[in-house]
């Protein structure tokens, strides 16, 4: 079980997503919106893999909020692979990062 958490921690620290997005001028903002591809592109450039974005809808404003950036790994979690976009954000054209 300890190995699971060590691997998970290593995955988490392997890329600083906040810094990657900041370098692409994608920073928390109360009104700015970005497209799905605007957010994925700098992450893909930095990691050489396609992540999956997950959003949550703010019920008060019906706004899609960026909730999670997911990296996908092969079965034994030894190699990062491209994620297939089977889930994510309902409105890929207007994602808020707050």
Domains annotated on the chain, with CATH: 2-96 (3.90.730.10)
Q: What's the pLDDT tens digit per position in 45-76? A: 999 999 999 999 999 988 999 999 999 888 88
| Sequence-separated (6 or more) residues with CB below 8 Å from residue 67 | 54, 55, 56
Mean pLDDT of the residues in the chain = 89
Name 69's Cβ contacts closer than 8 Å, sequence gap at least 6.
Answer: 17, 43, 51, 52, 53, 54
Cβ atoms within 10 Å, residue 26:
20
Please give the pLDDT value at position 26: 97
């Amino acid at each position: 079980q300890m190995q699971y958490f060590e691997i998970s921690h290593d995955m988490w620290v392997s890329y600083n997503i906040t810094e990657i997005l900041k370098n692409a001028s994608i920073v928390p903002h109360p009104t700015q919106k970005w497209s799905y591809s605007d957010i994925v592109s700098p992450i893909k450039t930095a990691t050489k893999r396609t992540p999956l974005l997950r959003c949550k809808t703010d019920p008060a404003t019906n706004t899609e909020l960026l909730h999670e950036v997911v990296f996908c790994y092969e079965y034994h979690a030894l190699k990062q692979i491209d994620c297939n976009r089977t889930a994510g954000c309902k409105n890929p054209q207007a994602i808020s990062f707050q």
